Amino acid sequence: MERGNATVGDLDKARGLVWAAGPADFPQLPESIEWVQLSSAGIEEFFAAGVIDHHPDVQFTSAAAIFAPTVAEHALALLLAGVRYLPEQILADSWRQQEFLPHIGTLRGSTVTIIGAGGIGRALIPMLAALGAHVIAVSRSGRPVPGAVETLPVNRLGEIWSRTDHVVVAAPATPATKHLIGAEELAALRSTSWVINIARGSLIDTDALVDALASNSIGGAGLDVTDPEPLPDGHPLWALPNAIVTPHDSNPPQRRVAAFADHVAANVARFSSGQDLIAKVDRNSGY
């Protein structure tokens, strides 16, 4: 290990292990091992395979939230592209200044609602704050999220649609979040509102979104995830000028390696100096 003030050595003398594979080949750990860093954000397979229960005295850490900044950056890129009317401008082949000027919006002073206050949502807040946007966070509990001017519990989500300028979907896909945004919610948004989805396609009713985009009842949509996914050839979203579709590429492989390396280095440094580790696995909650 060249970073984090540790050395790489044999497993049977090591205090920590960085395991970058799945649970299948997980080794028998010597007693010297106090800590295991896993390389995925979701580690349900390690629980299922008994790896974690089999080592009750080992502190496991996951890669939870380490990819959040790159996904949040993608969300911001999509939102800014929408607010700055870039899709139409990128397609243009002549100087249409007078036509475009009225469509140039700004995030400064705008209200952006982030649905979901996990790693991605929390990473996005300071980016939006730096642009002068007011962030409303929506979480299950409604406990105040740092940097948000207001945090609402999800049971008050209905208040959002008429109050916000833009919406970023960053919540997990569960039966409860399916079609969280449908025709009614879209109808309550503004004609300049952009809806960004970097979470899962199922959270938005695609047919209702297509209708809203086609009728310009909202400003546009920036989608890194779709329903269905992959989005089939000929789907209306491909042709709508106010829809930006990126094919689930907000967290590219080359970024994952770099982000994981940063995470390992940070945890190695913490482990060496006896500090609390990042992304500790909680045996009770299962993640």
Which are the catalytic amino acids?
200, 229, 248
DSSP tag of 29: P
Neighbours of 125 (CB within 10 A): 21
**Is 267 among the residues that bind its own copies (CB under 8 A)?**
no
**Is 214 among the residues that bind its own copies (CB under 8 A)?**
no
CA distance 256 to 264: 12
**Is 258 among the residues that bind its own copies (CB under 8 A)?**
yes
**Is 192 among the residues that bind its own copies (CB under 8 A)?**
no
Q: What angle do CA 278, 283, 284 make, to 5 degrees?
A: 120
Neighbours of 167 (CB within 10 A): 29
Q: How far is the CB of 27 from its own copies (least distance, A)?
A: 31
In the complex with its own copies, which residue's Cβ is closer, 108 or 156? 108
DSSP for 249-279, please give it: -SS-HHHHHHHHHHHHHHHHHHHHTTPPPSS
Out of 35, 74, 212, 227, which residue is the one contacting its own copies (CB under 8 A)? 74
In the complex with its own copies, which residue's Cβ is closer, 24 or 95? 95
Q: For its own copies, which stretch binds (CB under 8 A), given 11-19, 45-53, 107-115, 270-278?
A: 107-115
**Is 130 among the residues that bind its own copies (CB under 8 A)?**
yes
**Is 109 among the residues that bind its own copies (CB under 8 A)?**
yes
**Is 175 among the residues that bind its own copies (CB under 8 A)?**
no
**Is 116 among the residues that bind its own copies (CB under 8 A)?**
no
Sheet holding 16-19: strands in order across?
16-19, 35-38, 59-61
Cis peptide before 172 (omega within 30 of 0): no
For residue 23, what are the CA distances in angstroms to 49, 155, 156, 256? 7, 37, 40, 19
Q: Which residues bind its own copies (CB under 8 A)?
A: 69-70, 73-74, 76-78, 80-81, 83-84, 86-87, 89-97, 100-102, 104, 106-109, 126-127, 129-132, 230-233, 238-239, 244-250, 252-255, 258
